[in-house]
Homo-oligomer: A and B are copies of this chain.
Amino acid sequence: MTQQTLIAIGGAEDHTADRTILKQFVHLAGGDQARIVVITTASEIPDHRWQAYHDVFTALEVGELTHLDHRDRVSALDPTQLTAIDQATGIFITGGDQVQLVSRIGGTPIDHALHRAYQRGAIVAGTSAGAACLSQTMIAFGESGNTPIQGMMQLSAGLNFISTVIFDQHFRQRERLGRLITAVAFHPGHLGIGLDEDTALVIRDHQAEVIGTGRVTLVDGLRMESTIHQAVLGAPIETHGLEISEYSAGSSLTLTHHPN
């Protein structure tokens, strides 16, 4: 059976020193045999993003590099872009705005091709907005702060490479615990995963390993009672029984409440 591998990166991964996360992505995608597609659709500065990843992946001596970008949905309905994805051994989704990304490619042939690639074993990696979009439900946008507040963030549908988890990125750097707890409170069957910068989870079938220099925070609401259904917009949400766990590089963890 083909193994699917997802790499969710909390943004700002190192490009110049150890490059631990990008090296691991390139290694898993086949090293000098890797055929990497870089998708910059989330970004407002796509050429700049492409140049940055072009440089680091070239320095890491990948086999082939292709840049795909979409400024509207028409371009993502164009079938001529599909060959690169269908031949890729690794997909890298850059940062930017996850709503821009999903609203442009969600449900298009590009989206379907990415899922085909993932199913046949291509490594799918995303950083920052590119990590947010990997799950079934994602945080679309929101505010900082450690207190969960009704309306401080909005959820939407992600690209759904993984179910029943919600990623948040730049987690400690942007103080995003409050919004991740809020997200989990809506459906506590989903596990909240806070990813610090330069930190990633390498995920295979809801089993994950932490790599990079920061921490991964799991927000588990399975036994949490909350006032999410009562709190008016702008009001704090009370929670009881939330479980929070923190992990750093080398940790192995299970991303479900219940074994599947």
Contact of A229 among B103, B111, B155, B226 (CB under 8 A): B103
Cα-based distance from A107 to B157 in the complex (angstroms):
18
Is A156 in the interface zone, CB < 8 Å from B?
yes
Query: Is A99 in contact with B157, judged by CB distance below 8 angstroms?
Result: no
How does the 8 Å CB contact mask read for A59-81 relative to B, with 1 for contact and 0 for none? 00000000000001110010000
- Residues from chain B with a CB closer than 8 A to the CB of A157 are 136-137, 155, 186-187, 189-190
Which residues of A from 36 to 63 have beta carbons under 8 Å from B? none
Contact B107 A186 (CB under 8 A): no
Cβ contact within 8 Å between A188 and B140: no
Give the residues in chain B near A156, CB-CB below 8 Å.
Answer: 137, 155, 183, 186-187
Within the complex, what minimum Cβ distance (angstroms) separates A18 from chain B? 33
> Are A72 and B225 in touch, CB under 8 angstroms?
yes
Question: CA of A100 to CA of B97 in the docked complex: distance in angstroms?
Answer: 30
Per-position binary interface string of chain A over residues 211-231, scored 1 when its CB falls under 8 Å from any chain B CB and 0 otherwise: 000000000011111101100
Tell me if A103 and B190 are in contact (CB < 8 A): no
A111 engages B189 (CB within 8 Å): yes
Q: State the Cβ distance, A189 to closest chain B Cβ, in Å.
A: 2
Known: A73-B223, A107-B164. 20 other contacts (CB 8 A): A73-B222, A73-B224, A77-B222, A77-B223, A99-B186, A100-B229, A102-B187, A103-B185, A106-B190, A107-B190, A107-B222, A108-B189, A111-B189, A136-B136, A136-B160, A137-B137, A137-B155, A137-B157, A157-B186, A157-B189
- What are the nearest 9 A-B pairs in CB distance? A107-B189, A156-B186, A100-B229, A157-B187, A106-B189, A106-B187, A137-B157, A99-B229, A103-B228
